[in-house]
Amino acid sequence: MAQVTPERSPLAAFPAEARGEGLLFHADNLEVLPTFADESFTVIYLDPPFNTGRSQTRQSTTSQRSASGSVTGFKGQQYDRIKGDLLRYDDRFDDYWGFLEPRIVEAWRLLADDGTLYLHLDYREAHYAKVLLDALFGRDSFLNEIIWAYDYGAKSKNRWPTKHDTILVYVKNPKAFHFDSTAVDREPYMAPGLVTPERAALGKLPTDVWWHTIVSPTGREKTGYPTQKPEGILRRIVQASSREGDWVLDFFAGSGTTGAVSHALGRNYVLIDQSPDAVRIIRARIPSITLA
């Protein structure tokens, strides 16, 4: 394919002063990515299937007030539980890296000179990914290994329970990447008595270990999409590694958390997913998004 110029890129339809604008593609990401010009995105966040070897499912559930409901809630109100669609996708690949590598190569082409790539995986593939990304991009481009730690889900009696994901962070240019620690929501000190009252009130910059709960099954953020990531995780990423008006890309968009956070923070964004369920959820979650 001939090199795409910025004037022929899908982003050319948006004015330079655009803030919080979004573009959604219902397609195979490998077919869409070549239509964008080089270095179009300041942040690229990738949350690909984790290659768990099993089907991922999530059934959405809502509550509806009913005088004869089967569930008793706040102040004795009666409710019925209404089950929604059962969402499912296969998380099994015979050649996982044969699937992922060409997409990561495209992501690197699309990353701006001051841009940052975040690759979100779990323990099954994170170590392979580190070796592959070092080989593709160079070890000098590796910035961080972020551990997202949580305490939810199945317990294990015959091994240490697995309660974390890994986010590998690479920068296009180690001498020019954008990182604004002052823009990130700070967190409380674990031992506030060991610092001055002023520092305790300000809070501290998160380290590379992020303690954050998963999306609550009954919380405001819940969309019903399997493996939905919490807005708090994406907020840190977008705040630190982009500015208002920059473009953010997520081509395994899923429930659209990257887009929802980018929209709220005044970043422009492109979401790509080939799942009809994902596209339906994203359009409901971000009504202003433009369907390409």
In the numeric block, which tokens belong to residue 166? 């890994």
Q: What is the pLDDT of residue 70?
A: 54
Residue 91 confidence (pLDDT) = 44
Local mean pLDDT, 10-residue blocks, the chain (292 residues): 82 95 97 97 92 44 53 47 43 72 96 98 88 94 95 79 92 98 90 91 92 76 77 96 98 96 98 95 96 93
d(CA 45, CA 47): 7
Please state, in angstroms and rounded to a whole number, the distance separating the CA atoms of residues 235 and 266.
12
Q: What is the pLDDT of residue 16?
A: 93
Cα gap 213→281, rounded to integer Å = 22
pLDDT the model gives residue 163: 87
Q: How far apart are CA 151 and CA 229, in angstroms?
A: 14
pLDDT at position 71 is 45
**89 CB-side CA count, 13 A:** 20
Q: What is the chain's alpha carbon radius of gyration, rounded to the nearest angstrom?
A: 20
pTM for this predicted structure = 0.82
Domain range annotation of the chain: 6-53+92-291, 58-88
DSSP result, the chain: -PPPPGGGSGGGGS-TT--S-EEEEES-HHHHGGGSPTT-EEEEEE------SEEEEEEEEEEEE-TT-SEE-GGG-EEEEEEEEEEEEEE--TTHHHHHHHHHHHHHHHEEEEEEEEEEE-TTTHHHHHHHHHHHH-GGGEEEEEEEE---S---SSS----EEEEEEEES-TTT----GGGSPPB--SSGGGS-HHHHHH-B---SEEE-----TTSTT----TTPPPHHHHHHHHHHH--TT-EEEESS-TT-HHHHHHHHTT-EEEEEE--HHHHHHHHHH-TTPEE-
CATH class as words, domain 6-53+92-291: alpha beta
